[in-house]
Amino acid sequence: MRRVKYKKVRKVQPNFYEYTGIHNTDPIEMQLFVYDDAGYEEYKKVSLQRVQKELEDPLQADDVKWLNVHGLYDTDLIKKIGEMLSIEPFIVGDILNTNRRSKMEELDQVLYFSIKSILPEKDYDHLRVEQISFILKDNILVSFQEKKSDFFTHIRERIKTHSGIVRKKKNDYLLYLLLEAVMENFYITIEYYENCIEDLMIEAKTSDKPDVLERIEKTGENLNFLKRSISPLRDALFNLKSVHEDDDYDGIEKNNYTFFARLHQKTLELLEQIEYDNNALDSASSFYFAAQGHRMNEVMKILTAVSVIFMPLTFIVGVYGMNFDFMPELRFKYGYFAVLFVMLLLVLVMVSYFKKKKWF
């Protein structure tokens, strides 16, 4: 799991741009959708010059434009996109800094939104983390992804086939659909770990292997990381209320705020489910320790019973091992067998007594 590490702020070149992620091998690609209720156009592997031309086309001034960028390590390209949209430099820096928490910024008719996409790896104790950022301005929406993925494939199909109301709405509704698509990964991740928790609950009751406790701890760490990623998203969606109340900002239509309210409600549901899963992990951990303690008690009980049984036998052996000259029993013809009989009788009596008391 990639942990969040904050770097020291540079004291020179305040507008210095640096990509802090790990996805820097795949080629950078951009796709552009231009659509309205009447039709759409799709441009694959589009150049920045072509994007600029589409933005300046007066015939498409009212069309919704969605620019999707795959790859962030070309900082010059991201900087040029920011300059093309007249975005503040610190927002461009936040797009490139993938270690920052999810956030929402509204500034000069520009809405910036960042979110963490989290999916489980095949190895259950690792997570795939990717930051996805969105810029909403006028009729254009720009989405920045660290690498190529299929999160938004179904949305592209809806645009192409005119399914639903996406082509009847503006880019704020498109932003809602993209955020919802990324949030679906949270549900996938939680469902995956809930299956892991069920297995851990069973193993905690039946297995005494120490790796069970290690897996419980790692699962808890991943759930807490997921919680730390969802909590700021919840706050960001809640902060849209202040944008709603701002008469100077009209980037989101008033009748579309209900869609973002749904997303806020989903974050609350996700956090509640994570809290429930964490409690289940605590129960599994407690049961594991309780089972280990019970097994240890059973072992100690048996060892104690064996020790108590052999204590009088050891005493008898010690008495006849003192080598005194005048010990009448030493001359008795059947003394050896008599002592063995007494010792056996003591063992049987004590075992019967322990059985009756249900001490083992």
Residue 14: its pLDDT value, please? 52
Does the residue 1 lie in any domain? no
My answer on whether 207 and 316 are in the same domain is no
Of the candidates 356, 74, 119, 72, which has an alpha carbon nearest to the alpha carbon of residue 222? 119
Helices (H), 68-168: 75-84, 89-96, 153-161
My answer on whether 126 and 164 are in the same domain is yes
Does the residue 17 lie in any domain? no
My answer on whether 174 and 266 are in the same domain is yes
H or E element in which residue 148 lies: none
My answer on whether 329 and 200 are in the same domain is no
Residue 33: its pLDDT value, please? 93
Per residue in 187-202, pLDDT (tens digit) is 999 999 998 888 888 8
Residue 30: its pLDDT value, please? 93
Does the residue 4 lie in any domain? no
Residue 134: its pLDDT value, please? 95
The answer to whether the CB of 115 falls within 8 A of the CB of 102 is yes
Does the residue 63 lie in any domain? yes
Domain boundary among 276, 291, 306: 291
My answer on whether 217 and 302 are in the same domain is no
> Rounded distance, CA 111 to CA 103, Å?
11
52 contacts: CB under 8 Å, gap ≥ 6:
84
In one-letter notation, the amino acid at residue 293 is G
Kindly give the parts of the chain with pLDDT less than 50: 1-12
My answer on whether 235 and 105 are in the same domain is yes
Q: How many domains does the chain have?
A: 2
My answer on whether 287 and 313 are in the same domain is no
191's tokens: 């469902």
My answer on whether 251 and 305 are in the same domain is no
HSE of 1 in the Cβ direction (CA atoms, 13 Å)?
20
Of the candidates 53, 50, 33, 51, which has an alpha carbon nearest to the alpha carbon of residue 42? 33
Residue 316 is part of a domain; what is its CATH number? 1.20.58.340
Domain boundary among 272, 291, 310: 291
Per residue in 16-72, pLDDT (tens digit) is 788 888 888 888 899 999 999 999 999 998 999 999 998 888 888 889 999 999 989
Tell me the residue range of the domain where 142 lies.
Answer: 29-291
My answer on whether 309 and 246 are in the same domain is no
Of the candidates 108, 102, 161, 96, which has an alpha carbon nearest to the alpha carbon of residue 136? 108
Does the residue 13 lie in any domain? no
Residue 257 is part of a domain; what is its CATH number? 3.30.460.20
β-pairing, 40-43 vs 29-35, is: antiparallel
> Rounded distance, CA 248 to CA 275, Å?
38
My answer on whether 144 and 283 are in the same domain is yes
> Rounded distance, CA 192 to CA 218, Å?
14
> Rounded distance, CA 295 to CA 298, Å?
5
By the 10 Å C-beta count (0-12 exposed, 13-18 middle, 19+ buried), 356 is classed as exposed
Does the residue 14 lie in any domain? no
Domain boundary among 242, 265, 291: 291
Residue with the two structure tokens 């620019």: 67
My answer on whether 130 and 203 are in the same domain is yes
Residue 302: its pLDDT value, please? 81
My answer on whether 196 and 336 are in the same domain is no
Does the residue 22 lie in any domain? no
Does the residue 5 lie in any domain? no
